[in-house]
Structure 1
Amino acid sequence: MTLTPRTERTRAALIDRAERMIAERGTGVSLREISAAAGQRNHSAAQYHFGSREGLIEAVVATRSAEIDRRRGALLADLDGAVGAAGTVGATVGATVEELVAALVDPWVELLGAEEPSYSLRFLAQVLDDPDLERALADSDDPPAGLRTINRGLARRLQHLGSGDLTRRLTWTHAVALRVLAHEERLGTRPGPGLAAVRDDLVGMLAALLRAPAPATGRVPETPA
């Protein structure tokens, strides 16, 4: 369905306002409140355009995920080029755990360094803390392409883990990264040594989490080449 420019502007305003209000107040904020805050005289505008609270939240997630995934795709392409120049084909084959974790984390870190205040990370953290919404969103679509590529690359580097342990570690990695950076977003971290230190520390910590010995065998993984 082709949307008119006016409809696109209305939907964008509702998405922006929903993201900020949910980030600040939680997922219980009503559609009428969001419509009013977005400047809509019809306070049922969010209901009209998205059908339900879940529909609006899914639209926010889809919009922001697409933006983040485009950035992850660019980072992976750069990594492909750097790794290829070193004689190995493909980032997911030759990249280290740290490089792949950085591709996961860096687009979120860049939000914290932007001129305009970000609400995306707090919004996502609020959604993940709502069990009903988390389940609904988890069942809705496959992970974005960039995230799938990162997960595949990490799986190749973490063959000491069984499939269940790997799935759990990847889930934890995403959750920990998001919540740490949502906390930094709340604090209002800005560009500079402080933000760079947060990024580097987070990447190192998550890489260590992923490389830790498998719980069943205690076997220490080989150091990546």
Structure 2
Amino acid sequence: MNTEKSETPVVNEPKFSKAKLSLMLVAEKMIAEKGLNAISEREIAREAGQKNNSAVQYHFGNREELISAILDLRMIPLNARRHDMLMTIQPGQAGSLEALVGALVMPYIHHLIEHPGENYYVSLITQLALSGQHQQLLFDGPRSSSLQLMTRMMRDCLPELEQTEFHSRMNFTGTQLIHTVALWDLLRRQQSKLWTNEYLLEQSQQLIAFIVGGLIQR
């Protein structure tokens, strides 16, 4: 089965006002450091230098929309990068499964490299996943259309797996990836001399090989 690659439009990087962006960056950092439900909207506004304690409500409406805006800021550019990688892959050809897994993993790795010190969103994604809020992560088109396309392309590469088994392995893959990238982000802060860009790239290739092995193992 051939998978149509261009059926979902890719949304460009979103633009936010200075005030909104300030609140988003502060909230992202505070959530990473203190926990998803351990901070108040008033604290976010105060840390962002907003005199209005209701600034989050004024600019976003509620906390859920604030989190959604943070995910847009971080994941829409990542989604576009993954789409670009997927356009070069032909399912069924030698190495196509490894290339697909690479398209899953490497956008996160490149973001860690290109935005040092600005990767608190990885912790946000991890916390949302642990709290069971997968809808917000996986099924919003502008943020995750590349993941949906990649999943269909992987299904073409693994016709021998039963549908339930395929979905189970993809769920394991997503969980492993999210937690591994979050751990690497933390280690890069704590052990910067070891976790250089070159070492991170080496480890990412090991992760890709590990995921491929888990997908094809019978």
TM-score range, shorter chain: 0.7 to 0.9
Q: Residue 92 of structure 1: CA displacement?
A: 3.8
Kept in 2, the 8 Å contact 1:14–1:34? The answer is: yes
Q: Residue 76 of structure 1: CA displacement?
A: 2.1
| Unaligned ranges ≥5, structure 2 | 1-14
**Match 2:47 to one of 26, 37, 42:** 37
Q: Residue 114 of structure 1: CA displacement?
A: 2.4
**Separation in 2 of the partners of 1:92 and 1:8?**
41
Q: Which shifted more, 200-209 or 156-165?
A: 156-165
Q: Residue 68 of structure 1: CA displacement?
A: 0.7
Kept in 2, the 8 Å contact 1:108–1:181? The answer is: yes
Q: Residue 182 of structure 1: CA displacement?
A: 0.5
Q: Residue 145 of structure 1: CA displacement?
A: 2.2
Kept in 2, the 8 Å contact 1:27–1:130? The answer is: no
Overall identity of the aligned pairs, in %: 28
Cα distance change, pair 162–30 in 1 and its aligned pair in 2 (3 A): same
**Match 1:63 to one of 73, 79, 99:** 73
Cα distance change, pair 173–140 in 1 and its aligned pair in 2 (3 A): closer
Corresponding residue of 1:99: 99
Q: In the alignment, residue 130 of structure 1 is paired with which amino acid?
A: S
Corresponding residue of 1:10: 19
Kept in 2, the 8 Å contact 1:92–1:149? The answer is: no
Higher Rg? 1
Superposition pairs for residues 58-207 of structure 1, below 5 Å?
A: 58-77=68-87, 79-80=88-89, 91-94=90-93, 96-117=96-117, 118-131=119-132, 134-135=133-134, 137=136, 141-142=140-141, 144-188=144-188, 190-207=195-212
Q: In the alignment, residue 60 of structure 2 is paired with which amino acid?
A: F
**Separation in 2 of the partners of 1:97 and 1:139?**
21
Kept in 2, the 8 Å contact 1:93–1:153? The answer is: no
Q: In the alignment, residue 210 of structure 1 is paired with which amino acid?
A: L
**Separation in 1 of the partners of 2:150 and 2:137?**
18
Q: Residue 136 of structure 1: CA displacement?
A: 5.2
Kept in 2, the 8 Å contact 1:121–1:181? The answer is: yes
Cα distance change, pair 139–149 in 1 and its aligned pair in 2 (3 A): closer
Q: Which shifted more, 198-207 or 108-117?
A: 108-117
Cα distance change, pair 107–169 in 1 and its aligned pair in 2 (3 A): same
**Match 1:211 to one of 204, 207, 216:** 216
Once the two structures are superposed, residues 174-215 of structure 1 have per-residue CA deviations (whole angstroms, 9 ceiling, x without a partner) of 2211110100101116544311221011101111111122xx
2:52 alignment partner, SS class: coil
TM-score when normalising by structure 1:
0.78
Q: In the alignment, residue 209 of structure 2 is paired with which amino acid?
A: G
Cα distance change, pair 136–74 in 1 and its aligned pair in 2 (3 A): closer
Corresponding residue of 1:50: 60
| 1:21 and 2:30 correspond | yes
Q: Residue 156 of structure 1: CA displacement?
A: 0.7
Kept in 1, the 8 Å contact 2:128–2:134? The answer is: no
Once the two structures are superposed, residues 103-145 of structure 1 have per-residue CA deviations (whole angstroms, 9 ceiling, x without a partner) of 01101011221253121211211121123xx155268634622
Kept in 2, the 8 Å contact 1:112–1:191? The answer is: no
Aligned positions, number: 195
